[in-house]
Amino acid sequence: GQQLNQSPQSMFIQEGEDVSMNCTSSSIFNTWLWYKQEPGEGPVLLIALYKAGELTSNGRLTAQFGITRKDSFLNISASIPSDVGIYFCAGQLLLRHPARQLTFGSGTQLTVLP
Amino acid sequence: GAVVSQHPSRVICKSGTSVKIECRSLDFQATTMFWYRQFPKQSLMLMATSNEGSKATYEQGVEKDKFLINHASLTLSTLTVTSAHPEDSSFYICSASPAPHNEQFFGPGTRLTVL
């Protein structure tokens, strides 16, 4: 299936540093979602974005829906060890049939060093 | 709220046998559930979209006769891997959307190992 271009593929950062990752697509989306997945578990929804230009925060996480509707970024401020995991972006085009299907990015593996 | 469970969490089977994986939405009704497969260090790949009371819609390249999907109720969808082979070993994850919302909530996944 189709995938979004997500970067970087992996990141090694020191505890306390800020992190930024992004996704781009050749197609527009109605909704952008950001998930975190830990080993052996399913993805957990972090932030959902519904409007172009929307900027949404969830604690130390901030995500934006690009104005062109073809990109999104996720920032994590003041990283802590429990931020370790794989972060996935996902785009959703509601008019697609069947509706509500997600297209996933390739993931960003985040490692936080103490 | 919006909890999705999967059973079993892990299964090991012999080549040629069939394995059934259940996906349940515990606190909401889901007219649509999705099944994904994830290989190590890779992203989630959509296998099929499961609609309650109708046939599943399979993604290109996914064999519908090998991966049987049944969406018997608004809270339960099952995926049966028939005549499993070692190459079917993977992490299978389901998700569900509580209408009218669009977010998908994921189950914890099922690790299938075919010997």
Whole-number pLDDT of residue A3: 65
The total number of residues written for chain B in this structure = 115
Decide if B87 touches A, using CB distance below 8 A.
no
Q: Give B46's contacts in chain A (Cβ within 8 Å).
A: 1, 101-102
Decide if A107 touches B, using CB distance below 8 A.
yes
Contact B105 A45 (CB under 8 A): yes
pLDDT tens digits for A34-72?
999 999 999 999 999 999 999 999 999 999 999 999 999
Tell me how far apart the alpha carbons of residues B90 and B94 are, in angstroms, rounded to a whole number. Answer: 13
Whole-number pLDDT of residue B53: 80
3-state percent breakdown (helix, strand, coil) of chain B, nearest 5: 5, 50, 45
Q: Please say if the pLDDT value at position B102 is more than 70.
A: no
Q: Give B42's contacts in chain A (Cβ within 8 Å).
A: 106-107
Query: Quick one: A85 exposed, middle or buried, by C-beta within 10 A (0-12, 13-18, 19+)?
Result: buried
| Chain-centroid distance, C-alpha B59 | 13
pLDDT tens digits for B38-96?
999 899 999 999 888 888 999 999 999 999 999 888 999 999 999 999 999 999 999 99
Confidence band of B32 (pLDDT split at 50, 70, 90): confident
Looking at the complex, report in whole angstroms how far the Cα of residue B113 sits from the nearest Cα belonging to chain A.
13
Residue of chain A whose Cα is closest to the Cα of B97: A100
Residues 14-43 of chain B whose Cβ lies under 8 A from any Cβ of chain A: 32, 34, 42-43
pLDDT tens digits for A75-110?
999 999 999 999 999 998 765 555 567 889 999 999
**Which residues are paired to B57 by β-bridges?**
B49
Contact A3 B59 (CB under 8 A): no
Q: Please say if the pLDDT value at position B17 is more than 90.
A: yes
8 A C-beta contact, residue B35 and residue B92: yes
Decide if A78 touches B, using CB distance below 8 A.
no
Residue of chain B whose Cα is closest to the Cα of A47: B103
Q: Please say if the pLDDT value at position A111 is more than 70.
A: yes
User: Stretch A29-38: mean pLDDT, rounded?
Assistant: 93
Decide if A100 touches B, using CB distance below 8 A.
yes
Whole-number pLDDT of residue B31: 81
In the block, which residue shows the tokens 């490692």?
A111
Decide if A104 touches B, using CB distance below 8 A.
yes
